[in-house]
Structure 1
């Protein structure tokens, strides 16, 4: 059973009903129906991301993640971290106020800086630990390029492997760009030489992420989560 019912979504966020149904179908297909998990969204606010805010790609991703979260978490909100050189904002999106929420947040932010993953990862880890939840977490981490401090990003991911958190990275932009070589390497970091379990996935959403179908996006978001859950439970990371 979903954490938030279809009737509740129809009442509070009718524009998300179709997304909610698609998310539920993907969760069922991957054996995750009825799972409870915290869901986070991390979005890149570096200067090169400007077109993706302007064309609605970031808002579309936020709506999709929020609709997925409605199946996994009953509070109707998703914590969101905006990052560039530092942390630009730690806020949330909610079923009741999702429309135009990304534009509203960005209107209050300052200069779009460079790309630094590890500070955003640290902010998510702090939020998760401070929440006191015992449920596992699915962190959807969107970016359009590699970080300025690659060793720090790798270090944080490896340390986070001991926490009940799975990091699903999504790339926006040219799939052939060398900018994404680091994320592909991060996805394949060896176990156990570098980290206790494989706690990350990566997929590319292309130059127009809005063209990725809902079914395809949800399948990619949750495809590796069951394997991670199994490994994390075997290690005692998830109980």
Structure 2
């Protein structure tokens, strides 16, 4: 499978299974590694960026996770640096968000902690807001229309801001 190809309507059938076979999953979660690969693929570099990079086509990345990352600083680096690129990160947590709730004692071990992801949406040090986050405890219970609305919650405003700032 040519992994340099993007997922399209013509190649979606079996795409993820082929990708997993080519790149076996690790036992830990590292958002920064995936973000680095995406930035290198589209822009040839994943280094620190502090000047706008323009492109005719915006890039929308659907980032799905069910675990907290082990590389928070690298993730922050990529979110901040990619804010100067025509790249938008839509992050979807599979699991129950505990935003605003605290579990105590023994139950805390079974609590998903996605507070880091929730904070990325308000991360400082960015050229423009280039990330959105939502959680889905049971993705199958979300209607197509509701999912579309969640996926497009901040993206249209990002497109306007990216256009105004010369990224697209």
Query: Which TM-score band (shorter chain)?
Result: 0.7 to 0.9
Q: How many residues align?
A: 146
2:160 corresponds to which residue?
A: 230
97 and 227 in structure 1: CA distance in 2 versus 1, 3 angstrom threshold: closer
Deviation at 1:235, TM superposition (A): 1.7
Q: Does 1:134 align with 2:64?
A: no
Q: Name the SS for the 1:93 alignment partner.
A: coil
Structure 2: distance between partners of 1:179 and 1:92: 31
Relative contact order higher in (CA < 8 Å, ≥ 6 apart): 2
- Segment drifting more, 93-102 vs 139-148: 93-102
Query: 1:213 aligned to 134, 143, 150, which one?
Result: 143
Query: 1:122 aligned to 23, 28, 36, which one?
Result: 36
Deviations 1:164-211 (A, max 9, x none): 111110001232245210001111113xxx1111110001121x3122
Query: 2:19 aligned to 99, 105, 113, which one?
Result: 105
CA RMSD of aligned residues (A): 2.3
Consecutive unaligned residues of structure 1, counting only runs of 5 or more, are: 1-78, 80-88
TM-score by length of 2: 0.76
Between structures 1 and 2, the one with greater strand share: 1
Contact 2:88 2:131 in 1 (8 A): yes
Deviation at 1:111, TM superposition (A): 5.1
Deviation at 1:108, TM superposition (A): 4.3
Deviations 1:88-139 (A, max 9, x none): x766434234333323433444353211111111111111125x96211111
1:179 corresponds to which residue?
A: 113
Query: 2:76 aligned to 154, 158, 176, which one?
Result: 154
Between structures 1 and 2, the one with greater helix share: 1
2:10 corresponds to which residue?
A: 96
Structure 2: distance between partners of 1:125 and 1:164: 10
209 and 235 in structure 1: CA distance in 2 versus 1, 3 angstrom threshold: same
1:57 corresponds to which residue?
A: none
Structure 2: distance between partners of 1:175 and 1:124: 26
Q: Name the SS for the 2:7 alignment partner.
A: strand
